[in-house]
Structure 1
């Protein structure tokens, strides 16, 4: 499996936005969680351990593939 190490930037649009990292492999599991307050920014990276990132709450997400808002 190729590894691209893509980055994603998450900017919270409200207090309490949850960013959850999910593992790779045969069993997908939560491996890391962060809570962001309004206007906080987190830069996350896909790695050999992180295959997905789940975001709960209103946030702006920027990646190499474009920009989106989680509340739309």
Structure 2
């Protein structure tokens, strides 16, 4: 499966969880951000523009590789 086709799920465990998309290419930059409140769920995927995602705040992340929690 190509990484560009993989979906992942982020569920906020507190208000104000930041989800930040980072670009591909020679210069990695922020290109998109979302703020989630407690209980909100975001379904996302890597694309030709997004190579990484940074998550700030308490959240549960589900991927094809498993489920993980950010540190409490």
TM bin, normalised by shorter chain, reads over 0.9
Q: Which runs of 5+ in 1 are unaligned?
A: none
How many corresponding residue pairs?
A: 71
Asked if structure 1 preserves the Cα contact closer than 8 Å seen for 2:4 and 2:48, the reply is no
| 4+ aligned runs moved over 3 Å, structure 1 | none
Q: Which runs of 5+ in 2 are unaligned?
A: none
Give the helix-richer structure, 1 or 2: 2
Return the TM-score normalized by structure 1: 0.93
Return the TM-score normalized by structure 2: 0.93
Asked if structure 2 preserves the Cα contact closer than 8 Å seen for 1:15 and 1:37, the reply is yes
CA RMSD of aligned residues (A): 1.3
SS at match of 1:4: helix
Deviations 1:26-49 (A, max 9, x none): 000000000000000000110110
